[in-house]
Structure 1
Amino acid sequence: MNTKLLGSSLIIAGTALGAGMLAIPMVLAQFGLLSGSLLMLFIWSGTTYAALLLLEASIKVGGGLGMNTIARKTLGKGGQLITNGLLYALLVCLLMAYIIGAGDLLQKLVTGFGLELSMLHSQIIFTVLAGCIVAAGTGVVDKLNRVLFIIMIAVLIITLAALIPGMSFNHFFEATNTNNVDLIKTSAVLFTSFGFFPVIPSLVSYNKKATHKQLRNMVLLGSLIPLGCYLLWLYAVVGSLSAEQLIKFDNVSVLIDALSSRFVGIHIILSIFTGLALLTSFLGVAMSLFDQNIDLFRKNRLVTYILTFILPLLGAIFAANQFLSVLSYAGLILVFIAVFIPMLMIRNIRKSAQTTSDNVYQVAGGAGAMLMSLFFGCFLIGAQLI
Structure 2
Amino acid sequence: MIINKTIGSMLIIAGTTIGAGMLALPIASSGLGFLTAMVILFFAWCLMTYTALLTLELHQHAPPNATLNTLAKNILGKKGQFIANFSMIFLFYSLCAAYIAGGGGQLQLMLSNWSAGEVPPQTGAIAFALLFGSIITLGASTVDKINRVLFIIKVMVLTSIFFILTPHIQGEYLLNMPMQQGLIISAIPVIVTSFGFHGSIPSIVKYMGFNIQSLRKVMIIGASMPLVIYLFWQIVSQGVISQQNLYDSQGLDGFIASLSSLLQSSAIANTLTIFANLALATSFLGVSLGLFDFFSDVLNKGDSNKDRFITALVTFTPPLGFALFYPQGFIMALGYAAIALVILAIFLPVLMVWKQRRKTLDTAIQSGVNMYQVRGGKVALTTAAVLGVFIISAQFMQMLGMVPVIH
Q: TM-score normalised by the shorter chain: which range applies?
A: over 0.9
Q: What amino acid is the match of 1:123?
A: A
Q: What residue is the counterpart of 2:304 in the other structure?
A: none
Q: Which of 374, 379, 384 is the equivalent residue of 2:390?
A: 379
Q: What residue is the counterpart of 1:48 in the other structure?
A: 49
For residue 60 of structure 1, report the CA deviation from its aligned partner.
2.4
Provide the rounded CA distance (Å) in 2 between the counterparts of 1:15 and 1:22: 14
Provide the rounded CA distance (Å) in 1 between the counterparts of 2:133 and 2:318: 13
Q: Which of 354, 359, 364 is the equivalent residue of 1:352?
A: 359
For residue 382 of structure 1, report the CA deviation from its aligned partner.
1.6
- SS for the counterpart of 1:364 is coil
Q: What residue is the counterpart of 1:150 in the other structure?
A: 152
- SS for the counterpart of 2:249 is coil
Q: What amino acid is the match of 2:150?
A: L
User: What pairs up with 1:49-128 in 2 under 5 angstroms?
Assistant: 49-115=50-116, 116-128=118-130
For residue 298 of structure 1, report the CA deviation from its aligned partner.
2.0
Is 1:228 aligned with 2:223?
A: no
Provide the rounded CA distance (Å) in 2 between the counterparts of 1:357 and 1:146: 41
The gaps in structure 1 that reach 5 residues or longer are: none
Q: Deviations over 1:332-353 (max 9, x none)?
A: 1111111001111111110111
**8 Å Cα contact 1:176-1:243 kept in structure 2:** no
Provide the rounded CA distance (Å) in 1 between the counterparts of 2:26 and 2:369: 45
User: What pairs up with 1:311-322 in 2 under 5 angstroms?
Assistant: 311-322=318-329
Q: 1:358 to 1:113 in 2, by over 3 A?
A: farther
**8 Å Cα contact 2:122-2:324 kept in structure 1:** yes
**8 Å Cα contact 1:63-1:69 kept in structure 2:** no
For residue 275 of structure 1, report the CA deviation from its aligned partner.
0.4
**8 Å Cα contact 2:67-2:202 kept in structure 1:** yes
Provide the rounded CA distance (Å) in 2 between the counterparts of 1:25 and 1:294: 37
For residue 26 of structure 1, report the CA deviation from its aligned partner.
1.6
Q: 1:318 to 1:357 in 2, by over 3 A?
A: farther
Provide the rounded CA distance (Å) in 2 between the counterparts of 1:189 and 1:240: 22
Provide the rounded CA distance (Å) in 1 between the counterparts of 2:329 and 2:313: 23
Is 1:8 aligned with 2:9?
A: yes
- SS for the counterpart of 1:60 is coil
Provide the rounded CA distance (Å) in 2 between the counterparts of 1:381 and 1:21: 20
Is 1:323 aligned with 2:325?
A: no
For residue 124 of structure 1, report the CA deviation from its aligned partner.
0.7
**8 Å Cα contact 1:65-1:294 kept in structure 2:** no
Q: What amino acid is the match of 2:253?
A: S
The gaps in structure 2 that reach 5 residues or longer are: 302-306, 398-407
Q: What amino acid is the match of 1:207?
A: M
How many percent of aligned residue pairs carry the same amino acid?
Answer: 38
Aligned residues: 384
Q: What residue is the counterpart of 1:26 in the other structure?
A: 27
- SS for the counterpart of 1:31 is coil
Q: Which of 321, 337, 345 is the equivalent residue of 1:338?
A: 345
Q: Deviations over 1:356-380 (max 9, x none)?
A: 8767111111111111111110111
Q: Deviations over 1:43-93 (max 9, x none)?
A: 111111111111111222233342111112111122112211111111111
Q: 1:345 to 1:359 in 2, by over 3 A?
A: farther
- SS for the counterpart of 1:88 is helix
**TM-score scaled by length of structure 2:** 0.91
Q: What residue is the counterpart of 1:290 in the other structure?
A: 292
**8 Å Cα contact 1:12-1:199 kept in structure 2:** yes
Q: What residue is the counterpart of 1:250 in the other structure?
A: 250
Q: What amino acid is the match of 2:149?
A: V
**8 Å Cα contact 2:178-2:184 kept in structure 1:** no
Q: Which moved more, 1:223-232 or 1:136-145?
A: 223-232
Q: Deviations over 1:189-221 (max 9, x none)?
A: 11111110000011011111x631211111001
For residue 28 of structure 1, report the CA deviation from its aligned partner.
1.5
Q: What residue is the counterpart of 1:163 in the other structure?
A: 165
**8 Å Cα contact 1:163-1:240 kept in structure 2:** yes
Q: What amino acid is the match of 1:215?
A: L
Is 1:190 aligned with 2:191?
A: yes
Q: What amino acid is the match of 2:239?
A: G
Provide the rounded CA distance (Å) in 2 between the counterparts of 1:231 and 1:384: 24
- SS for the counterpart of 1:283 is helix
For residue 321 of structure 1, report the CA deviation from its aligned partner.
2.4
**8 Å Cα contact 2:59-2:66 kept in structure 1:** no
Q: Deviations over 1:215-239 (max 9, x none)?
A: 1111001111111111111110111
Q: What residue is the counterpart of 2:404 in the other structure?
A: none
**8 Å Cα contact 2:165-2:240 kept in structure 1:** yes
- SS for the counterpart of 1:311 is helix
Provide the rounded CA distance (Å) in 2 between the counterparts of 1:118 and 1:174: 46
Q: Which moved more, 1:137-146 or 1:315-324?
A: 315-324
Q: Deviations over 1:90-126 (max 9, x none)?
A: 1111100001000111011122224432111111111
Provide the rounded CA distance (Å) in 2 between the counterparts of 1:146 and 1:41: 26
Give the superposed CA RMSD.
1.6
**8 Å Cα contact 1:56-1:361 kept in structure 2:** yes
